[in-house]
Amino acid sequence: MIWAFDDTTRRNIAERCAAFARLPESQSGPALKRAAVAIALVEADGGGTALLLTLRAAGLRAHRSQWALPGGRCDEGETQIEAALRELHEELGLESRADDVLGLLDDYPTRSGYLITPVMVWAAQSATVSPNPAEVASVHRITLDAIERADAFDFVTIPESTRRVIRFRHAGRFIHAPTAALIYQFREVLAGRATRVAELEQPVFAWK
């Protein structure tokens, strides 16, 4: 499907998000630290719609030099939507409002002790992306047709778990869960499928 970066695509994605029955929080995982990430939809470099993916800075205390969606821990009294929009601004300089939010995906429990809420954001002002070098090493625009490819995702097993490890291939490298799991569920929502991802495993290096 062609996803032009226009009001028609925004409406189509919002409708698919509205049709997605998100799991209640009680079914999403144990009592973990709340966190949120933004699946920020922007104009792709060559036209069309893309999501923003970052490579975390090497100097960060946790998950350094790993692929991630913009996001982080929720502050005291902060909703997941507020946290995702704040982190989007702090990491990439993007100013988005609550009415830019298209919907939420399922919470994803991580091995490192977080419960991540993915927030889908229509970031129309994406030309002004300005990454914070203290947090972000690089920013990548992943087109929606790239995540829809039949070979975009695969699943492998590891000795340390009975759960499948999901991988997303980008620029000749693999991106793993939680990021790969959240992008995968977004891909499924775009296709009108309510595919659950909480049981998809992370590689061992992401467990801490």
CA distance 169 to 164: 16
Do 147 and 134 meet the contact criterion of CB atoms below 8 Å apart?
A: no
Is residue 62 domain-resident?
yes
pTM summary value: 0.93
At 59-106, the pLDDT tens digits run 666 666 688 999 999 999 999 999 999 999 999 999 999 999 999 999
Output the pLDDT for position 207: 80
Please report, for the domain that includes residue 97, its CATH number: 3.90.79.10
Is residue 148 domain-resident?
yes
- In the chain, DSSP assigns E strands to 33-43, 49-56, 67-68, 71-73, 101-104, 108-109, 114-122, 136-143, 153-158, 161-170, 173-176
Let me know the angle formed at the C-alpha of 110 by 64 and 159, rounded to the nearest 5 degrees.
90
At 110-126, the pLDDT tens digits run 998 999 999 999 998 76
In Å, what is the CA distance from 53 to each residue of 28, 33, 141, 146, 179?
24, 23, 6, 13, 9
What token pair was written down for 133? 């070098």
**What is the domain range of residue 41?**
7-23+32-206
Is residue 101 domain-resident?
yes
Is residue 1 domain-resident?
no
Is residue 160 domain-resident?
yes
Between 66 and 54, name the one with better pLDDT: 54
Q: Give the residue among 174, 158, 176 at the shortest CA–CA distance from 166.
A: 176
CA distance 40 to 68: 12
Give how many domains the chain has, as a whole number: 1
Residue given tokens 């991988």 in the structure block = 167
pLDDT band at 159 (very low <50, low <70, confident <90, very high): very high
pLDDT at 26 over 70: no
Residue given tokens 């029955």 in the structure block = 21
Q: Give the residue among 78, 73, 77, 109 at the shortest CA–CA distance from 206.
A: 109
Q: How many CB atoms lie within 10 A of CB 159?
A: 5
Is residue 168 domain-resident?
yes
Q: How many helices (H) and strands (E) does the chain have?
A: 4, 11
Is residue 2 domain-resident?
no
Is residue 75 domain-resident?
yes
Rounded mean pLDDT of 33-51? 94
CA distance 88 to 70: 6
Output the pLDDT for position 47: 87
